[in-house]
Chain A
Amino acid sequence: MLLFIVIMLYLFIFLFDYQNIKKNQSKKENTIYIIFYISSFFLLIMYVLDFQVTPLSDVIRGIIKK
């Protein structure tokens, strides 16, 4: 169900926002735009598929303790 929500969300948003990628943007701008979309999509898929990732709070705690 959550996987379905994520895929539909991205499909909807990407179609809605598609004109931004096409219109008046340089190659560099487009690259950053696409990187943001893809990375956020994969992060959400990782969450939905229940990947075991160390929480960011633990990482920061470790750095502060050092």
Chain B
Amino acid sequence: MIKKELLSSRQLISLIMLFLFGSNVVIGVNITSDVEQDAWIALIFSFLFNIPYIIILSKIISLFPKKNIYEICDQLFGKKIGTFLNIVFLCHTLHLGSIVLRNFSEYIEITTLSETPQLPIMVSLIAMVIYLAKSGIKTFGRWSLIIITVILSTLAFTIIFSISIFEFDYIKPILEHNLKQMSNSAFKLFMLPFSEIVIFLGLADSVSIKNREKKTFILSILFGGIALLSIIVRNILVLGIPLLEASSFSSYQAARIIQIGEFITRIEGLITINFVLAGITKITIFVIVLSKGIAHLSKNNDYRKLIIPSSLIILSLCPFLFDNVIDMFDFAKIFSLYAIPVQVILPLLIFITALIKKH
């Protein structure tokens, strides 16, 4: 039997934050928002969905300690339905993992390596992911603590040095959009990025936070939310809505404008490094969850043996996801509908069934 590696509370918080940053910072958190300069208010509104959702996820983890979603489904729904639900969750994880990898290869191709085909970029990223995932969850947790520090300091750095170019008129008129538009946008922001956290149920057997699940999850979503909020506000104040809508990668565009005196310029390179680090962390989470699922279905007790095949299947699915970068951004708009069954209905179903069976 393989000795179980566990994540501490702090490591889980930093992993969830990195997961939230991941691709969403690259494709711009505002991409799902139709409320233009009110996107930051929509993000705050999205916490009306986020908080109950996070409480449900933490309840599931506390009801089934040291069990991941695959074991929970098998226990709650029996072998046949449990296996079916596990396969659905696996397919969703595989698809999301490939989308994130594609986001990063598109980003790198557009911003830095425009003459390079995407395959070598994807291969380099996935090689890092394989190495990180093979190192084990404990090492991965320690890596996340270091990376989150680097990313948060860069975020603070870019915000502080862009204050001088903030144009506060860009954020006005505040609350121009009606309640229906705002709630629609808040729901879209809940679906992408916040409800993606359901993937962490696949890692639930590696979480060692007795009786602190709710607090840990709420703290991570709050910290992550505040960071995303500051990114949205920074991008709006620096670029303004017309430029924001015209640019594919708004955070990158915002960082390009920042310069300190005449001697510190072009800090967008720093942003790219951060994005790639967060992206690698996010893809690693998908790979680990995917290999745990496949290991569960094939009754293999060591998920690490399946990390390379899982990474390769994520890599090979990437080129067939979208036609081009425009198609990729367009898909983000319908993502909220597509992801409802797995990201909202499945955890709700597990939670309700668990409550009924426990009483």
Contacts and interface: CB of A to CB of B under 8 A. Distances in A.
Given A43-B316, A56-B95, A56-B321, A5 B298 contact: no
B338 A36 contact: no
Nearest to A9: B123
Interface in B88-135: 95, 117, 119-120, 123
A7 B306 CA distance: 20
A36 B287 CA distance: 13
B300 A40 contact: no
A44 B321 contact: no
A40 B313 contact: yes
Nearest to A14: B308
Interface residues of A, number: 31
B322 A57 contact: yes
A60 B338 contact: yes
Contact of B316 (A5, A32, A40, A56): A40
B316 A41 contact: yes
Contacts of A40: 309, 312-313, 315-316
A50 to B, nearest CB: 10
B157 interface: no
Nearest to B312: A40
A2 B305 contact: no
Contacts of A55: 320-323, 327
Interface in A31-54: 32-33, 36-37, 39-41, 43-44, 47-48, 53
Interface in B335-355: 337-338
B168 interface: no
Given A2-B117, A32-B294, A56-B320, A13 B312 contact: yes
Given A37-B309, A47-B119, A57 B315 contact: no
A43 to B, nearest CB: 4
B347 to A, nearest CB: 21
A28 B298 contact: yes
Given A33-B309, A55-B320, A28 B299 contact: yes
Contacts of B299: 26, 28-29
Interface in B256-311: 294, 297-300, 305-306, 308-310
A33 B305 CA distance: 9
B319 interface: yes
Interface string A1-37: 0100110010001001100100001101100110011
A44 B120 contact: no
B312 A36 contact: yes
B317 interface: yes
Contact of A36 (B123, B313, B322, B330): B313
Interface of A: 2, 5-6, 9, 13, 16-17, 20, 25-26, 28-29, 32-33, 36-37, 39-41, 43-44, 47-48, 53, 55-58, 60-61, 64
15 contacts: A13-B308, A20-B308, A28-B299, A29-B299, A33-B306, A36-B312, A40-B313, A40-B316, A43-B320, A44-B119, A44-B319, A56-B321, A57-B321, A57-B328, A64-B338
5 closest A-B pairs (Cβ-Cβ)?
A36-B309, A43-B316, A40-B316, A40-B312, A47-B319
